[in-house]
Amino acid sequence: MKKLSKLLLITLLFFILSGCARKHNQQVLSADNVMISYHVQGQGKPALVFVHGWCCDKRYWKFQVPYFAKQYKVVTIDLAGHGDSGLGREDYTIKAFGGDVAAVVKKLQLDEVILIGHSLGGPVIIEAARKVPKCVLGCIGADTLHNIEKPYDIEENEKMISKLKQAFVGPMQNFVRSAFKADAYPEVVQWIVDNMSSVNPKVGISVIENIGKYDLKEAVKDVQVPIVCINSDFWTTSVEANRKYAQNYKVKLMPGIGHFVMMEAPENFNQLLAETIAELRKTNYAEKR
């Protein structure tokens, strides 16, 4: 059973950090002229670039930014159509999102980068690594890239699209709740449910319509840097399947929690992420010698 003191602390942090001012956000134009919002905090190499998942935004890294900004330059991004970034894109695709990340990396002139992506952000950072390969030291996923070779379920996808087009908010809230275990902190669950169901429906639906068109297997083959995922055991991760396409794929498991690993168990996630960053830095240093 979770301790009450920890629950109160997390709840308090949510109220404080959810209302953080956005006045320090910076902007850059994507390749298709959509304004991309991002935030920078801290100094130090490599830069850590955090990418949120579907219908989320850069605030989902609220427990990581202050922790890692003590040692590194931390960059959080709102993908097009999400958070403070602009709309106007006809199709919200993985390739375009990867371009959003690449635009920020280029604008900041980052020469050493570790890309970190949650859920949909996993494929996005893979695509971003293809676009700016010379500066990327590694890709770290947060509950993502569970089985690269698993065929996309077109029928299930179409059912979901149909529900979202009929009434976006209700089906979206049900879907988000299904990504948590029964004992998840209710304040965390409610914040995420409310936030994800408030995204522009056109954006949310477009992502789902386009995600199955992205060839993740081919994309991963193009990425030569290590790929490490910090996943929960909510869904099965197939290391064997993934290594058919990425020989340097590794996974670190966080058992007993749901899909939002960085928010449900931030202390544990931060420790594993710090450990993984140190490993990637050590590998990169050894390769340069």
Return the pLDDT at 279.
96
- 13 pLDDT band, cuts 50/70/90, is low
- pLDDT at res. 123: 98
pLDDT at residue 216 greater than cutoff 70: yes
Rounded-to-integer distance, Cα 226 and Cα 284, Å: 10
> Rounded to whole angstroms, what are the CA distances from 118 to 7, 21, 149, 229?
23, 23, 19, 9
Domain ranges of the chain: 15-152+216-288
Q: Residue 288: which pLDDT band, with cuts at 50, 70 and 90?
A: low
Overall average pLDDT of the 59-72 stretch: 97
Contact 114, 140 (CB under 8 A): yes
Burial 214-239 (b: 16+ CB within 10 A, else e): bebeebbeebebbbbbbbbebeebbe
Other C-beta atoms closer than 10 Å to the C-beta of 91 total: 12
List strands edge to edge, sheet with 47-51.
26-29, 35-41, 74-78, 47-51, 113-118, 136-142, 227-232, 249-254
Pick the CATH number of 15-152+216-288 from 3.30.413.10, 3.30.750.24, 3.40.50.1820, 3.90.1200.10: 3.40.50.1820
Q: Which residue has the tokens 């840097």?
A: 225
Whether 171 shows a pLDDT value over 60: the answer reads yes
Which residue reads 């950072």 in tokens? 125
pLDDT at 83 over 90: yes
* pLDDT at position 17 over 90: no
Look over the chain and give the mean of its residue pLDDT values, rounded to a whole number: 92
Q: What is the distance between the alpha carbons of residues 206 and 210, in angstroms, rounded to a whole number?
A: 6
Cis peptide before 46 (omega within 30 of 0): yes
